[in-house]
Amino acid sequence: MSESKDLGAALDELYATLLERKTADPAKSYAASLYEKGLDTILKKIGEESAETLIAAKNGSRSELVYETVDLLYHLFVLMAREGIQPADLAVELQRRAGRSGLEEKAVRVK
Ligand SMILES: N=c1c2ncn([C@@H]3O[C@H](COP(=O)(O)OP(=O)(O)OP(=O)(O)O)[C@@H](O)[C@H]3O)c2ncn1[C@@H]1O[C@H](COP(=O)(O)O)[C@@H](O)[C@H]1O
């Protein structure tokens, strides 16, 4: 990526690539190899990348934290593409929450 984009545009572009990779050769595409290995492998990668993100945060390295957070987001997006969840679905949920404090939401949550 030559120039910096906003996060939404970068994630939309990644998602479009991940959809294209559904029909790609697993020997030539990392995403295609994940789709071929299946849900358990994708979920294990999310677990691994989550742990690496936690360790990066604990280590106090900003660059490591950015790197691992993007790895985690990447694998979450592979899961979304597999499951047919679109970035717009996340945007709708974020918008639904906008302006509502987490404390307020917690107080009225049905247990
Ligand atoms: N954004 C990414 C991206 N982020 C992370 N990764 C890969 O995610 C993997 C992260 O796994 P690890 O750090 O655990 O590395 P590893 O130990 O080698 O991985 P495993 O052997 O455990 O699978 C690495 O192979 C990274 O290269 C990504 N691979 C691809 N993309 C994008 O997807 C596009 C298409 O890629 P292909 O599907 O390979 O064509 C690329 O052009 C990029 O834009």
Which ipTM value was assigned to this complex?
0.91
What distances in angstroms separate CA 88 from CA 49, 72, 92, 106, one per listed residue? 23, 19, 6, 25
Per-residue pLDDT, 2: 53
- Domain range for 37 is 7-108
- Judge if the beta carbon of residue 31 lies within 6 A of ligand 1: yes
The pLDDT tens digits for 43-87 are: 999 999 999 999 999 999 999 999 999 999 999 999 999 999 999
Question: How far is ligand 1, taken at its centre, from the CA of residue 2, in Å?
Answer: 19
Residue at 2 is within a domain = no
- Judge if the beta carbon of residue 33 lies within 6 A of ligand 1: no
CA dihedral 23, 85, 42, 78 (to 10 degrees): 60
Q: State residue 91 phi and psi, 5-degree precision.
A: -60, -40
Residue at 91 is within a domain = yes
Question: Is the CB of residue 32 less than 8 Å from the CB of residue 22?
Answer: yes
* Atom 32 in ligand 1: residue holding the nearest Cα: 14
Per-residue pLDDT, 83: 98
Question: Is the CB of residue 85 less than 8 Å from the CB of residue 19?
Answer: no
Residue at 1 is within a domain = no
Number of domains making up the chain: 1
- CATH number of 87's domain: 1.10.287.1080
- Judge if the beta carbon of residue 21 lies within 6 A of ligand 1: yes
